[in-house]
């Protein structure tokens, strides 16, 4: 079991607190943006991360972006030394079919898009903060809600797979250690 990771982010625009630990996917999310709450609840459930998120801010865009940065930072702190590192999942949701392919190996990159500029930006901000590589492919779908939700669920499932502690380091470089002071 990993230690809980707590991130507090405060700017003139937002105040955010994220508590995360690898667990059973239980969440308590209150961001003041109901659709974001719904997506984070699905993400936590499928990732197997117990997640508490509290956020307030001036604009919906600022809340969504800053929550992504805080959640990404928190989740990066959950990556075990012997993480499986890679994860992939394709999720159907009614007419939508979305694939997420993830590498938690420390290189930030996002390739989408998903059909919502706000939630596409969430994915990019999450990856930048977590230093994860994520490719999301929308294979089909006409209902934007279904496509975005399938993307969050696919990300969650692929993260669960990538965070599995194998006891081995999956890199020809060995363990990469970065320190920030």
Let me know how many helices (H) and strands (E) the chain has, helices first.
Answer: 4, 8
- Rounded to the nearest 5°, which phi and psi values hold at 30? -145, 95
Yes or no: is domain 5-163 CATH 3.30.230.40? yes
Confidence of residue 143 (pLDDT cuts 50, 70, 90): very high
Please name which of 174, 167, 159 lies closest in space to residue 40, comparing C-alpha atoms.
159
Distance CA 157, CA 150 (A): 10
Report pLDDT digits (tens) over 146-158: 999 999 999 999 9
d(CA 67, CA 134): 18
- Distance CA(27)–CA(110), nearest Å, equals 25
> pLDDT band for position 175 (50/70/90)?
low
Residue-wise pLDDT for 42-93, tens only, equals 999 999 999 999 999 999 999 999 999 999 999 999 999 999 999 999 999 9
DSSP strand pairing (86-93 vs 96-103): antiparallel
What the block records as the tokens of 19 is 């508590």
Instruction: Work out the pLDDT band at 166, boundaries 50, 70, 90.
Output: confident
């Amino acid at each position: 079991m990993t230690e809980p990771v707590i991130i507090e982010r405060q700017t003139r625009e937002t105040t955010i607190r994220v508590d995360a630990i690898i667990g059973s996917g239980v969440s308590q999310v209150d961001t003041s943006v109901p659709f974001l709450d719904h997506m984070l609840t699905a993400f936590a459930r499928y990732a197997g991360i117990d997640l508490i998120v509290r956020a307030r801010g001036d604009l919906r865009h600022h809340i969504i972006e800053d929550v992504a940065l805080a959640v990404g930072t928190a989740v990066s702190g959950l990556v075990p030394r012997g993480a499986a590192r890679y994860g992939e999942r394709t999720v159907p949701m009614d007419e939508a079919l979305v694939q997420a392919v993830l590498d938690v190996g420390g290189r930030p990159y996002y390739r989408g898009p998903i059909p919502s500029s706000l939630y596409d930006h969430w994915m990019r901000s999450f990856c930048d903060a977590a230093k994860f590589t994520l490719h999301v492919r929308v294979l089909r779908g006409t209902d934007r809600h279904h496509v975005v939700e399938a993307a969050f669920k696919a990300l969650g499932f692929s993260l669960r797979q990538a965070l599995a502690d194998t006891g081995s380091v999956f890199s020809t470089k060995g363990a990469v250690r970065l320190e920030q002071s």
